Chains A and B, each alone.
Chain A
Amino acid sequence: MRSTRLAALALTATSALVLAGCGSSGGSGSGGGGGALALPKADDFLSAPCPDVGTKPQGDKEFTYWSMWTADEPQGKVLSKAIRCFTDKTGVKVNVQWLGRKLLTQNVAPALNTDTVPDLFDQDISQVKAAVVAPGGTQSVEDVLDYKIGEGEKKVRDVIPATYYDIPQNKGADGKIFEIPYELLGNAWWYNKDLVKDFKAPATMNDLFALFDKAKAGGLAAVSQDGDINFYNAYFYTQIASRYLGPGGLEKVATDKSGAAWTADPNLAKAAETVEKLAKGSYLVDGWDAAKFPQIQQRWADGEAAYLFVGSWAPSETREYLTKQGGDKGLNYGSFQFPQPEGATHKVVEQLPIGFAVTAKAKHPEAAKAFIAYVINKDILAGIPAVADNLTPRAELAVPDDLKDVKAALEDPQAEHAIFMDGLDALAAGKWVDNVFYPLNNDLLKGKISAQQFVEGLAAKQAEFWKTTS
């Protein structure tokens, strides 16, 4: 959204940075919204000496990196330092272009069949898979797992848990992984510990609604929800349904050509009943469906509602807003995961790894891969929490206070990891969610249709959709 093609939308972009964007954009907070605590840490990181390189490229003297960040945002600063250090230590020149979040569809994908591809690029695994891996644009980075990272004999695979890369969504047609993650996004319910007193994490759905009822009784709205962002609206259903079906289950249902899978499994309707209850019980803040992002999450930050369900970017985004409002009133962020619905057997935790990928036609893959391993070094990767207030896949690195609960959920040994929305948003290049899922899901969340009508509608629409869509 920062590219020139979308310059016309820059106006909105400034106020509406979402998903991957938000994963970090708010993190400019560490300069602006980060508050007094984050700033010295960030400066310490940026001025610290460069760590040693574990794997030195033998032949390559340069490589090209197209970045999903801009140079002046926190992750851009961290990676700028990594680039500077890498060149210092190896003499390899890095030709970096800071292209912003839309680089895959606007830069990388169009370049794939030309000879001017970058050697290295980054974005979340869902988007990379849909835009670049599908047309065969990447090469395996499995060898990077055995690259040394400059911490003695430690290799990449020794420090990044397999749950963050060894997943179907990170594998190409050859069954090999195409990304090495360096940042993690998670999803959670957020609340302000100063506002919600005597909080106890819900163990059942009834507990969750009891929390909502308590908030309402206390004169607050229960849940804030920016209703104009379709995929925010979709999180409720996909979170609950994934717990019945397990990771990848929803995707299987969504690709059933007859659509009958929606009605065949009664759990799909059961999951929708919880969303219906959320809609019809007037738990959502008044006006949630008649505003523009990020107005409603700002109302949560202002203390009008008790809970907010979005990704791990919630603290950095809302903190930035509160800082701009003036005053030093921060929030005391707390978060928790959806409880297990009754009869659900999968303890699903949603994650979205952001990582580096190497193009199939890369001219300098060796240098690019050595750089990936270098970024994983703890003294480089520490910049992600320190400067950008975000999570890394490394367990031993510091975690921003606000994200401790999210990180704990992600590292829960019993957790089954699924991609955000089970990757539904990438089906048929996004057409499936736009045409089939979002309209019905929005109606469900608005209380216009029942859970039963929802699954029946999906079954019918989906059959119609796959008949005409390639």
Chain B
Amino acid sequence: MTSTVTAPEADEQHSSASGAHLVRKKRLFFPFFLPAVTLYVLFLVVPTIATVVLGFTSWAGAGDTPRFIGIGNYAELMGSDSFRYAFLNTLLYIVVGGVGTFLLAFLFTMVLRDMRGGKIVRAVLFFPNIVAPVALGMFFGIILIFRPNRQGLVNHLLESVGVDAVKFLAPENVTWVVTACLIWASSGFYITILMAAVDRIPPYLYEDADIAGATPWQKFRNVTLPLTWDVIGVAGVLWTISAIKIFELVFVLAGPGTYSPQIRAWTLGIYVFDRSFGTAGSPQYGMACAAAVVMILLVSVLVVLLRRLMRRDTIQF
């Protein structure tokens, strides 16, 4: 921003006409710049700094004076089982859910490209994104019911083909069930993004590959993947950022919905919520802030790693 402002000053003497224009432009700079930056600082930068600072305090909410306790909150986080489960589950959802989502998305980009009615299928696959995760969680909670003689939809189907009903919502299975639901719910979004990238690839590249007798896999591997690499990288970052916040789906699917689920199913989002609003006593906003800082750190590390991993020379086409 600053370079565009200072550079024209040197040019001013070259042309007075464009100089007047630039002066006007310069005059407009602050009226446009300040509101945006003020809002950004006020509602993003300051709260983020406040979160970091409050992470070092014990604070029960508005009115209470935050008491500085150094790294006390972090020490408690590290020693706490609930936080350990929350951290590991979040990682699991990011990694396993991410791999699953992208595999599914790639599969669909391979198929949908030449499919008749692909656009409609794409739209349909996007639908789960429109539905609020809470509603999805409740929906899955209903169709996955295990109840002998009156099974939920899924177990009913399983039994009708002679397979034993599965206790999907049992604590030992629920993490994997949530992962599957997550993949189901999010892949549509990434299919849409990847397909938009695939649509940009000139068709003659595929025609050429067809003439050379390439299989769908070879076309994907040698045409689609290299030419959508940048988009995949961005989609990966988007996934990481959204997956780190996973909360509602787990909250309603792994627990009764009104209370936090058992700690073995927690995510970082649930941890922050539980310390803020789910405590039996006064809220522990200091702990919640510390956990939120861990979330910020985790997402930063993952995004940087991902960007490094995905770094390649852009292919021009």
Chain B residues near A287: list those with CB within 8 A.
Answer: 146-148, 167
B145 within 8 A of A: yes
Interface residues in chain B, defined as those with a beta carbon under 8 Å from any beta carbon in chain A: 58, 60-65, 72, 75-76, 78-82, 132, 134-135, 138, 141, 145-148, 167-171, 173, 248, 251-252, 255-264, 274, 277-284
25 CB-based A-B contacts, threshold 8 Å? A6-B277, A11-B138, A11-B252, A12-B256, A12-B258, A18-B258, A106-B277, A110-B283, A126-B280, A130-B281, A134-B282, A135-B64, A230-B259, A290-B170, A292-B256, A425-B280, A434-B82, A439-B81, A439-B262, A439-B264, A467-B79, A468-B75, A468-B76, A469-B76, A470-B76
The reply to whether B148 and A286 form a contact with Cβ atoms under 8 Å apart is yes
The reply to whether A105 and B279 form a contact with Cβ atoms under 8 Å apart is yes
Identify the closest chain A residue to B247 (Cβ).
A8
The reply to whether B258 and A435 form a contact with Cβ atoms under 8 Å apart is no
* Stretch of A38-46, A111-119, A163-171, A340-348 lying at the B interface: A111-119
Q: A105-B277, A289-B171 are in contact. Are A228 and B258 (CB under 8 A)?
A: no
A129 vs B257: C-alpha distance when bound (angstroms): 25
Contact bitstring A436-470, B, C-beta under 8 A = 1, else 0: 00110010000000000000000001001101111
A17 within 8 A of B: yes
A360 within 8 A of B: no
The reply to whether A468 and B258 form a contact with Cβ atoms under 8 Å apart is no
Chain A residues near B274: list those with CB within 8 A.
Answer: 434
A102 vs B215: C-alpha distance when bound (angstroms): 59
Q: Is the interface of B mostly helix, strand, loop or mixed?
A: loop
Q: Which of B72, B258, B261, B277 has the most CB of A within 10 A?
A: B258
A1 vs B79: C-alpha distance when bound (angstroms): 30
Contact of B63 among A21, A113, A230 (CB under 8 A): A113
The reply to whether A291 and B145 form a contact with Cβ atoms under 8 Å apart is yes
Q: A111-B62, A131-B281, A131-B282 are in contact. Are A8 and B248 (CB under 8 A)?
A: yes
Interface residues in chain A, defined as those with a beta carbon under 8 Å from any beta carbon in chain B: 1, 5-6, 8-9, 11-13, 15-18, 21, 102, 105-106, 109-114, 126-127, 130-131, 134-135, 226, 228-231, 286-287, 289-293, 295, 299, 425-426, 429-431, 434-435, 438-439, 442, 461, 464-465, 467-470
Identify the closest chain A residue to B151 (Cβ).
A287
Q: Is the interface of A mostly helix, strand, loop or mixed?
A: helix
Q: Which of B82, B173, B262, B284 has the most CB of A within 10 A?
A: B262
List the 7 closest pairs (A to B, CB-CB), nearest first. Answer: A113-B63, A12-B257, A468-B79, A290-B167, A430-B280, A130-B281, A429-B281
Q: A131-B281, A469-B76 are in contact. Are A9 and B148 (CB under 8 A)?
A: no
The reply to whether B281 and A110 form a contact with Cβ atoms under 8 Å apart is no
A180 to chain B, nearest CB (A): 22
A403 vs B257: C-alpha distance when bound (angstroms): 28
B61 to chain A, nearest CB (A): 4
Contact of B256 among A16, A127, A468 (CB under 8 A): A16
Chain A residues near B147: list those with CB within 8 A.
Answer: 287, 291, 295, 299
Chain B residues near A6: list those with CB within 8 A.
Answer: 277
- A9-B258, A231-B259 known, 20 other contacts, Cβ within 8 Å: A5-B277, A9-B251, A11-B138, A11-B257, A12-B134, A12-B138, A13-B257, A13-B258, A106-B277, A228-B255, A228-B256, A229-B256, A290-B170, A293-B257, A293-B258, A426-B281, A429-B281, A435-B82, A435-B263, A442-B262
A287 vs B256: C-alpha distance when bound (angstroms): 15
